Amino acid sequence: MQADYSLGELAVRFGLELRGDPALRVSHVATLSSAGEGSVSFLANSRLRKHLGASRATVVVVDPRDVDACPAAALIGSNPHAAFARIATLLYPLPAEPPGIHPSAVIAADSRIAASASVGPFCVVEAGAELGERVRLGAGCSVLTGVRIGADTHLMPRVTLYPRVRIGARCLLHTGAVIGADGFGFAPDAGTWVKVPQVGGVRIGDDVEIGANTTVDRGAIEDTVIENGVKLDNQIQVGHNVVIGAHTAIAACTGISGSTIIGKRCMIGGMVGFAGHLTIADDVSVTGCSLVSASIRQAGSYSSGMPTVESRAWRRMVAHLRRFGEKER
Amino acid sequence: MQADYSLGELAVRFGLELRGDPALRVSHVATLSSAGEGSVSFLANSRLRKHLGASRATVVVVDPRDVDACPAAALIGSNPHAAFARIATLLYPLPAEPPGIHPSAVIAADSRIAASASVGPFCVVEAGAELGERVRLGAGCSVLTGVRIGADTHLMPRVTLYPRVRIGARCLLHTGAVIGADGFGFAPDAGTWVKVPQVGGVRIGDDVEIGANTTVDRGAIEDTVIENGVKLDNQIQVGHNVVIGAHTAIAACTGISGSTIIGKRCMIGGMVGFAGHLTIADDVSVTGCSLVSASIRQAGSYSSGMPTVESRAWRRMVAHLRRFGEKER
Amino acid sequence: MQADYSLGELAVRFGLELRGDPALRVSHVATLSSAGEGSVSFLANSRLRKHLGASRATVVVVDPRDVDACPAAALIGSNPHAAFARIATLLYPLPAEPPGIHPSAVIAADSRIAASASVGPFCVVEAGAELGERVRLGAGCSVLTGVRIGADTHLMPRVTLYPRVRIGARCLLHTGAVIGADGFGFAPDAGTWVKVPQVGGVRIGDDVEIGANTTVDRGAIEDTVIENGVKLDNQIQVGHNVVIGAHTAIAACTGISGSTIIGKRCMIGGMVGFAGHLTIADDVSVTGCSLVSASIRQAGSYSSGMPTVESRAWRRMVAHLRRFGEKER
């Protein structure tokens, strides 16, 4: 059900230079190697330029440096990946969702749901919750007491928002995301644990994406905060009172322990573990599977972890490491 | 909707010494630095004593050693964190939930649900299941055949209990928890896998908390067991036939492979990986992101993992490690 | 509600040699040490042969080498674990599920659901979706637009299949599995991120098992692919455009970054992290908690990760490692 656009329209709309016939039309995206007629592809990395020559795409979005290697029409801009993303967004519009509340949904009398919002089957919207304009809830979402959701935010099926969670505008939350469950707070007491009520909230900014089965705990006393434009992949764990700075992107399976503060525009790899109460500067990159056990004060790229090698070689490595662990000889 | 208590009442109720006006009232908790009138704060770590002086809390729960540094009223006890937790529990009572079964819930005729229990919308309670006094099920919980849930246990929305799971009293299970799914049991057979039916169960004791999206697999033949007072954070994976000893606390994202036995009162950090068939002694601490590939026979603190450093330094580390992996020279 | 079979029947049905009375009957499985009358147990690992002698099982499935140590009747075959798995499958048949659609389910008019299929309460089946013969959906499953599910595939409660996901026959998906959520695709643009629409799909073959809370992302442009016979444990993350070869088994909590291709018949441990765009050969084993940051071209066993040691020893190890990270001296 894709739309269909001429190259001329795309060039004008996205401020790209066109080399080729403006009347050619495209309806779908493709990789360079699988592209056929009517498709738009892109080349974001000049090292892959060799794939350009054989491509049968109708048009390729390219950087000016790569245009000469392009056998098809070219849409030329300084950021081909972002331009391609915008074209794809145009070609694949979200299916329209008629506003309204499915008759099976259970809606508290004193909740406030914009008339333009859409609430799917088997949703629960509790007392005092507010859903802004054009908010969409997929099937089986639970929006508990006092939650607020900003305009144009979409929840896929089975997202749960615990009481008093605040979510900004234009966010996308994927299935299984759980926002605002209790942080892990227990006081030791004579060999057992006393639960510390988790009475803070969660504040999520605008334009945030949260992946499937990701969990963001509510604060112990004050709030857990996810700033504007943050992108969280699947199965990430965000502990209580964590702050994630604007436009930081975090790959899947990463865990962030309580009260750690991550800066703006960071890029965090997958399966990274952050200890608690750390401060990570703006513009920090951390490669996948790193263990971040101390604060990082300077922008830059950081790593840890051992390389995978044949198991026999690994056993020798481990034997060496164990020796380093022995007391000074 | 917090309650409101005088300091005198709190001192008596929790056996604390009061220094200050017993008629002062508090209604909410706060951190030392954000506290204002009517708030109770705490200082559990003397190293943070410097924050006491500027606090505007009405009362601070402190250790006797810190009382002289406290500018406000003080509730004095030997375990300020636990005392604070109990005060917070009093100030923030759980919202009452009227007993009864939501009309949308699908309840098997031969299940047994205490009259004082509360079953939310879109729940399923299958044949032979038993819900004790004051059990609460949030929206969309699935309680499958023959499950038993003890008194005062709460399930937040969308918890799933597979057939024959047993859960004790006063437990709290967060959204997305899945208890009793099949363990990962397959027998290799000529390049393919034959599923080994997982016919054991899961037994969970009293006073257990289980975090959001945590999974506890049923046993292969015998049961997976989680003893009294265990606290599991979010996104933990507990394999089949694991036993977790009483009052052990495990932080988020940790994975425990099948048949491993963890002792009592252990403290396990986040993202720790346990191999299968291990035995971990009582009173063991393991720091975050450790790889536990062998049994631990002695109480104590254990660790592994590389520190994160600048990526360039990490590449040099890795080059050294690789050399250790080479055959003896 | 187990069935009850004679040893003679089992020997004939599974092609095993019987030593003992063919009229003896068994109704349930047990471990060697907990077995009693009417139980079948197995010994798959000769190193555990010492447990045979005291077993009170009615019959034990054994390898020919172990038969002489078996005090009970013996069912003898070259792969005792697989034979045991097949016997257990016979003894513990899946409870019958009457075909039909629960009246609470919300079913699109133009979906196609086989008359023999079973759709549980609170399921949603959207437009164009197809459910094959004897498909079962547990409570609260969401099957979105255009999904296709092959015959005899079972979804436990609360599985979500995003639009256009394809699943083969005889698969089993556990609670909380999310198939086809958006891959993590964003183009950087002047300090913010532009979402790259994820327009590929997910294709899952026959005889695949997917564990609780596991997530498999849809492809960016082309499909994410899981081939026949793959077994995925709980809480695994499969990134966009990953390909997992036939009969590969992956333990819990492992994460696979985008566009990585894993071969056939691999055995991947738990909590392994794969970087993106790698190629892993057929018949590769990777031990738990490894960091796979480069392609693996040869079949074999691979490992990484530090052993856990006492925290004091670990601090010494780390100090040594840090020195390796310093610039050449």
Give the model confidence (pLDDT) of B191-245 as tens digits: 999 999 999 999 999 999 999 999 999 999 999 999 999 999 999 999 999 999 9
Interval A73-102 mean pLDDT: 95
B259-277: pLDDT as tens digits? 999 999 999 999 999 999 9
Report the alpha-carbon distance of residue A245 to residue A73 in Å, rounded: 40
A307 neighbourhood in chain B, CB within 8 Å = 318, 321-322
Residue B2 pLDDT: 58
With a cut of 90, say whether residue C95 has pLDDT above it. no
pLDDT tops 60 at residue A160: yes
B137: pLDDT confidence band, cut at 50, 70 and 90? Answer: very high
**Strand, coil or helix: C33:** coil
Per the structure block, which two tokens stand in for B20?
């200050």
Q: Which two tokens stand for residue B4?
A: 């409101």
Identity (one letter) of the amino acid at B92?
Answer: Y
pLDDT tens digits, C163-177: 999 999 999 999 999
- Does the pLDDT value for residue A2 go beyond 70? no
> Quick check: C162 contacting B, CB < 8 Å?
no
* Chain A residues whose beta carbon lies within 8 Å of the beta carbon of residue B318: 306-307
Flag if A88 and C301 touch (Cβ within 8 Å): no
Q: Neighbouring chains of A at 3+ CB pairs within 8 Å? A: B, C
Q: What is the mean pLDDT of residues B55-69?
A: 95
Contact check, Cβ <8 Å, B308/A317: no
**What pLDDT is recorded for position B329?**
46
Q: What is the pLDDT of residue C329?
A: 46
Q: Which of A192, A275, A302 sits opposite B311 (nearest CB)?
A: A302
Nearest to C309 among B142, B271, B302 (CB): B302
> Strands across the sheet with C209-210, in order?
A309-310, C300-303, C284-286, C267-268, C249-250, C231-232, C209-210, C172-173, C154-155, C136-137, C118-119, C100-101
Instruction: Render pLDDT for A21-56 as a digit per residue (tens, 0 to 9).
Output: 999 999 999 999 999 999 999 998 888 888 898 899
User: Exposure pattern of B308-325 as b/e (b: 16+ CB <10 Å)?
Assistant: bbebebbebbbeebeebb
| Percentage above 90 pLDDT, chain B | 89
Taking each helix axis from N to C end, the angle separating B311-325 and C311-325, rounded to the nearest 10 degrees, works out to 110
Cα of first residue to Cα of last residue in chain A, in angstroms, is 72
Lowest-confidence region among A307-311, B169-173, C154-158: A307-311
Q: Do C305 and A306 touch (CB under 8 A)?
A: yes
Determine contact, residues C320/C301, Cβ cutoff 8 Å.
no
Residue B163 contacts A where some CB pair is shorter than 8 Å:
no
Q: Is the pLDDT of residue B92 over 70?
A: yes
Task: Kindly indicate the confidence band of residue A320, based on its pLDDT and cuts at 50, 70 and 90.
Answer: confident
CA distance A265 to A267: 7
Decide if B275 touches A, using CB distance below 8 A: no
Q: In this prediction, what percent of chain A has a pLDDT beyond 70? A: 98
Laid out side by side, the sheet with B59-62 consists of B17-19, B73-76, B59-62, B39-42, B28-29
Judging contacts by C-beta atoms under 8 Å, the chain A residues touching residue C310 are: 325
Pairing of strands C186-189, C192-195: antiparallel
Contact, B154 vs B229, CB < 8 A? Answer: no
**What's the pLDDT at A269?**
98
What three-state secondary structure class fits C215? strand
Task: Tally helices (H) and strands (E) across chain B.
Answer: 3, 40
Residue C123 CA: distances (Å) to CA of A137, A208, C105, C140: 15, 28, 5, 4
**What sections of A21-134 are H helices per DSSP?**
80-91
C192 contacts chain A (CB < 8 A): yes
B295 is written with which tokens? 């049994």
Put simply, the answer to whether B247 touches A191 (Cβ < 8 Å) is yes
**Do residue A195 and residue B85 have CB atoms under 8 angstroms apart?**
yes
Q: Please, is B279 exposed, middle or buried when counting C-beta atoms within 10 Å of its C-beta (0-12, 13-18, 19+)?
A: middle
Residue A51: its pLDDT value, please? 87
Selecting from C288, C306, C310 the residue whose C-beta is nearest the C-beta of B300 gives C310
* Nearest C-alpha in C relative to A102: C106
Among B187, B257, B286, select the one facing C270 at the smallest CB separation.
B257
pLDDT mean over B69-75: 93
Q: Which residues of C touch B241 (CB under 8 A)?
A: none
Burial class (CB in 10 A: 0-12, 13-18, 19+), C119: buried
Listed in sequence order, the residues at least 6 apart from A83 whose beta carbon sits closer than 8 Å to its beta carbon are A14, A16, A42, A61, A75, A77
What's the pLDDT at A328?
Answer: 57
The residue from C240, C247, C277, C320 that is catalytic is C240
Portion 46-75 of B in contact with A at CB < 8 A: none
Backbone φ, ψ for residue A106 (5° rounding): -110, 110
pLDDT band at residue B301 under the 50/70/90 scheme: very high
Give yes or no for B32 touching A (CB within 8 A): no
Which among B86, B212, B270 has the least Cβ separation from residue A215? B212
Q: Measured between CB atoms, which of B158, B181, B304 is closest to C306?
A: B304
Report the alpha-carbon distance of residue A225 to residue A244 in Å, rounded.
6
Q: What is the mean pLDDT of residues B89-116?
A: 96
Lowest mean pLDDT among B124-128, B244-248, C325-329: C325-329
Contact B189 C156 (CB under 8 A): no
The Cα of A116 is separated from the nearest Cα of chain C by a number of Å equal to: 21
B275 contacts C288? CB cut-off 8 A: yes
Chain B partners within 8 Å of C170 (Cβ): none
Q: Smallest CA–CA separation between B273 and chain C, in Å?
A: 7
Kindly determine whether residue C189 and residue A79, on different chains, have CB atoms separated by under 8 Å. yes
pLDDT confidence band for A17 (50 / 70 / 90): very high
Optimal mutation site among A213, A215, A230, A316, interface C, most CBs of chain C within 10 A: A213
Across-strand partners of A274? A256, A292
Query: CA of A323: which chain C residue's CA is closest?
Result: C317
Q: Which residues of C touch B187 (CB under 8 A)?
A: 44, 79, 81-82, 84-85
pLDDT exceeds 50 at position A329 = no
Number of H-type helices and E-type strands within chain A: 3, 40
Phi then psi for residue A59, to 5 deg, are: -145, 150
Residues A303, B311: C-beta atoms closer than 8 Å: yes
Question: In whole angstroms, what is the distance from residue A306 CA to residue A312 CA?
Answer: 15
| Total count of residues recorded for chain C | 329
Average pLDDT of the residues in A287-296:
97
Burial of B267 (0-12, 13-18, 19+ CB in 10 A): middle
Interface test with B, best of C27, C153, C308, C309 (most B CBs within 10 A): C308
C17/C49 Cα distance (integer angstroms):
19
CB contacts under 8 A, B 227-266 vs A, are 229, 231, 233-235, 247, 249, 251-253, 265
Q: Is C270 on the interface with A (CB under 8 A)?
A: no
Cross-chain CB nearest to A30 (options C158, C194, C221): C221
B321:A305 CB<8 A? no
What is the pLDDT averaged over residues B55-75? Answer: 94
Residues of B in contact with C44 (CB under 8 A): 187
Chain B contact present for A3, CB below 8 A: no
Q: What is the mean pLDDT of residues C299-304?
A: 97
- pLDDT for res C2: 58
DSSP per-residue codes, A256-299: E-TT-EE-TT-EE-TT-EE-SS-EE-TTEEE-TT-EE-S-B-S-
Contact A34/B at CB under 8 A: no
- Which of A47, A174, A232, A234 should one mutate to test binding to chain C, selecting the residue with the greatest count of C CBs within 10 A? A234
**Predicted ipTM of the assembly:** 0.97
Mean pLDDT, chain C, as a whole number? 96
